[in-house]
Amino acid sequence: MNLPALFFIAVGLSMDAFAVAVCAGLAMPEHNIKKSFVIGLYFCVFQAVMPIIGYIAATWFADKIIDYAHLIAFILLCFIGFKMIIESFKKEEHDREEFSLNPARMLSLSVATSIDALAVGVSFAFLQVSIIPAASFIGITTLILSMIGVKIGNVFGSRFKSKAEFIGGIILILIGLKILLEYVIN
């Protein structure tokens, strides 16, 4: 696989993490480079590890992973999205609260946004792509785009405090629907 093709795959896989990072930035009172890095690192690790898992699993039970991966991502993203929407109504009259870096929340977001990378890993196995360099490239791309996403979200969040969490919840639900519809259509 050539570098331009891998770059577009990496950017495509990073878009879900980027969107969630924008949501995280929306919920931050002020931009914090350390928190941006932590958010980006969560997404980076999962976006890099999932293709490796998919690659390894391709020889064992790829059809079962692919069949359920989209449904799992849809459920996780919708659950988190609905929770954010409900919380947005509770906080509407107060100042924006800091985005939680709670490990359970970050792990569920990271898994949900990286499940499609499992399928890419399966594809890489069939294409005989060297998985470690490819996964590393995907992870680094995700880290950079996620950190940019947090900053972008924070800029907009400063202007739209009362609706930030609501918008973030809607975005997560839409990402979940996109993943589910891609599965249904294909």
Task: Report how many domains make up the chain.
Answer: 1
What is the rounded CA–CA span in Å between residue 29 and residue 46?
26
The residue range of the domain holding 55 is 3-185
What is the rounded CA–CA span in Å between residue 127 and residue 26?
39
DSSP single-letter state for residue 160: -
Taking alpha carbons only, the member of 142, 165, 178, 160 closest to residue 14 is 142
Per the listing, tokens 């919920």 go with 27
Answer yes or no: pTM beyond 0.85. Answer: no
141-179: pLDDT as tens digits:
999 999 999 999 888 765 554 455 676 678 768 877 887
> In b/e form, how buried is each residue of 58-76, taking b as 16+ CB within 10 angstroms?
beeebeebbeebbeebbeb
**What are phi and psi for residue 31, nearest 5 degrees?**
-70, 135
Higher pLDDT, 152 or 63: 152
